[in-house]
Structure 1
Amino acid sequence: MTGVNFAERSAALSHGSDGAALPRGVQGAADENFLCAVRAFGQMFPWRRLGGGALSVYLDGEPVVDVWTGFSDRKGTQHWSADTGPMVFSATKGVAATVIHRLADRGLIDYDAPVAEYWRAFAANGKSRITVRDALRHRAGLSQLNGVRKADLLDHLRMEDRLAAAPVSWLHGKPAYHAFTFGWLLSGLARSVTGKGMRELIRTEVAAPLNTDGLHLGRPPLRAPTRPAQIIGPQSALPNPIFNMVAPHLAALPFSAAFGAMYFPGVKAMVQGDTPLLDSEIPAANGVATARALARMYGALANGGRIDGTQFLSAETTAALVGQPSLRPDHSMVMPLSFHLGYHGLPIPGVLPGFGHVGLGGSLGWADPETGLGFGYVHNRLLTPLVATDQAGFVATAALIRRGAGLARRNGYRPVREYGAAFTDLTRTAV
C-alpha cells in the first residue's frame, strides 16, 4: 500500500490539488478526501493537559486515515504514538460481541438457543429460557450489579458465577443496558463453549485474524507493543460522604436504571492513578484499543466481513448484524439505543447510520455497511469539563468522515500506510 507520514506531504495527497498537509501536531497518514475530518479531529486536542487521541478510517476494507495527536499522560510529557491504546470502556462490548459472532460463524453457538444449553450453571433460578440473542440485545434482565464490591468486580470468574446463580428478573425480554454484566454474560458463554476466557479469545478471535496488536482486554503485557494511556480525569480524591452513604441504597432499588447497572463502592477510584480497573477481565468495560484496531474490525464488518483479502466473518453472519432502528426507550439509559446482536445504532435518521459501540467518554468503533465505511476514534479523556463535547461532539466529525467517503467515491482514493504493530503472539497464563 502507498501512504504517508506527517513529513511526507506529497504521498499524503494522493489526488491533492490544494497542497494541504496534515494539521500541525497530527501524525500519521490520510487520503486528501478526508482532510476536513482530520482537521476537526486535531482541533479536539489543543493543549497538553487535554490528552490525546487517534482516528482511523477504512473504506471498502482499505485504510484511508490513520492519524494520532496529543499526549498519553496527565502531565502532557508523553506524546501519543502509533501504538498508544487508551481504555475504551463500553466500546469493549463491540469487540466481545464480535468474539461471539466468530464462534457462531463456525456453528459453535446458535443465537436462538438458550444460554444454559452451553453454560449449564446459567439455568439456575429461572434463567433457562434466556437466549444468546437476549444476552446480545441487552434483554437478559441481568443488568444490575446487586451489591457487587470492588473485590468481586476484579474477579471475573466470581462475576461469571454470580451471574449464573442470579435469579431471573422482571426485565427479561425488555431492553435494559447491561453496563458491566454484559461482558461477563458473554465471557461465561464463550468459556463454556471454548474453555477459554475472553482475554484470550479477544486476542485469538479478533486481534490475530485482523493482524493487529492493538486489542487487549485489561492491561497489555509489558512485552506488548501497545502501551496504555493514562486517563486524564477525574483525578480528584475529595470524598463526598453524603453520596457515599446514599448511593449503595439507591443502586439496590429495582428501578435504579443506569445507576444500579454501573455503581459500586469505589467506582471513581477504579479509574484514577494507575487505573486499577485495568487489572481484571471486564469484557464490557476495560478493553485497551488503538483506533486502528477498532477501525480494522469495523472496517471488515462494513465490507461484508472481508479485509486484507481475508474473510474475517462470513458475509451471511455479517449481514445479520444490521438491525432495525428502534425508538423504544432503554430501561437503564432511559433513551433509545436500538441494540441488535451486541452493537447499537443511533435511531435518529441520518445522524450516524450503521452500528457500533460508543464508550464512556466518547471513544467508539463504527461500521456503515451501506457505504463500506468503518472507523475507530479513541482518546484518554473520561469525565473532564469537555465531557459533553467528547461524548456527543464526535457526531460532527463522523459527518465529515462520511463526507470524505463521498468525495473519495467521486474523486478516487488510494489506501494509506498503516502504522502500529502487527499481531504478536503474547500467550500468557490466564484464567
Structure 2
Amino acid sequence: MIETTKALEEACSTLAKSDFITIDTEFLRESTFWPELCLIQMASPDLEVIVDPLAKGIDLKPFFELMANPSVTKAFHAARQDIEIIFHLGDLIPHPIFDTQVAAMVCGFGDSVSYDQLVQKIKGVHIDKSSRFTDWSRRPLTEKQLDYALADVTHLRDIYITLRDELEREGRASWLKEEMAILESRNTYDLAPENAWQRLKMRLRKPQELAVVKYVAAWREREARSRNVPRSRVLKDDAIFEIGQQQPKDTEALGRLRTIPRGWERSSSGSAIVEAVNEALALPKEEMPRLPRHTPTPDGAQAAVELLKVLLRLTSERHGVAAKMIANSDDLDRIASEGENAEVPAMQGWRRELFGNSALKLISGGMALRFADKKVETVEF
C-alpha cells in the first residue's frame, strides 16, 4: 500500500497521464456522521495502486488534485458515496466522472445493476466476496483483503471501456452526461441543515407541525455533524414527529413525550429542542412550510397509469434501457393526471424523446396498444 505523501505524489503523477482512471473507496460510517475513509483504490491501463489514508503523516493533496484534473475521466461504480467522501475531505467534486452503474442502466443491463453482476456479464469472472465485510480500518490488512479491494478497480477498467464504447456506438453518450451533471453538482452533497426535514418520510401535514419538524431536524443535523455521530444517536425520527405533533413549549412538556428518554429533557439538548420549537411556533403563518397540495386523480387516470406501465416496459425492451432509468411510478402518475404539464424527468431531455412523447400520445388517444403475434405492440393513429 502507498503510505507516504511522496509515493502518492508519484502514483498520482503517473495516473494523470492516462485519459481515464478507475476509482473506489472503502470506508466505515456505522458510528459516525461523516464516513471514515479507510482505503483508496485507483487504476489506469498501466498502473494499479492502493492508498492508505490512515497512514501516519500522509497528505492526500495529490489525490485531490488528481480528482480535480479535467483531463482525466474518473470512472466509479455507484459513485455517490465515494464522491460524498471526497467532497467532505477535499471540498471538491471529481470532474469529469463516469458512473458505470448509471451507464449500465442506459445500456440495458437492468435496474441498479451491481458491480459483481457487471463483472460477471462483461468479463465472465466471478468475484470472491469473502472479504466484503472487512473492517477496513484495521491494520494490517491481509493480502487476500487487498486483492479483493484492488479487484474493485481492475475489472472496472474493462467495464468502463465496454460501456463507454457502447454509449458512443448507440449515440447515448449525451444521455449519460445529463445524469453525471447531477452527480457533479455540489448541491447533491452540500445539504443545508435547514433542508434536513425534507429527507424525512413525512407523517404530518399542518404548517405549524411542519415548522416544528423543520427546526428540530435542522438542530439535529447540526448537532450530528458537530459531534460526528449518526443522526439517530442525537434524536430518532419518531421523536421529531412526536415533537412536531405535540409542540412542547417547555422542558416539562418535552419530558412527558413517550419518545424522549426519562431525564433527557433536563439536558442541554432538551433545552435546545424547546428553543427550536418556540422559534418555529413564532414564525408568521405565511412563512411556515407547506407540503405540495395533492392534486385529485382524474377519473380514468389509474387505468391510464396501467397503460403507461405497459408502454414503459415496451420502450425499455425496445431500446435496451432500464425502465427505472426512463421513468418511475411518480412520473407515470403525474403524466396520467397532468399530461403535458407534468414537470417530471420523464418529460425532459432524452427521456421525453424516448418515452414522454409516446406517453402523451397514448393518454390522448393518438396511440393504442394491441396484442398481436403473442406480443404487445403500439399502433399510432
TM-score computed with the length of structure 2 as normaliser = 0.23
> Of Structure 1 and Structure 2, which has the larger fraction of its residues in helix?
2
Task: Select the structure with the greater relative contact order (CA < 8 A; seq sep ≥ 6).
Answer: 1
TM-score computed with the length of structure 1 as normaliser = 0.21
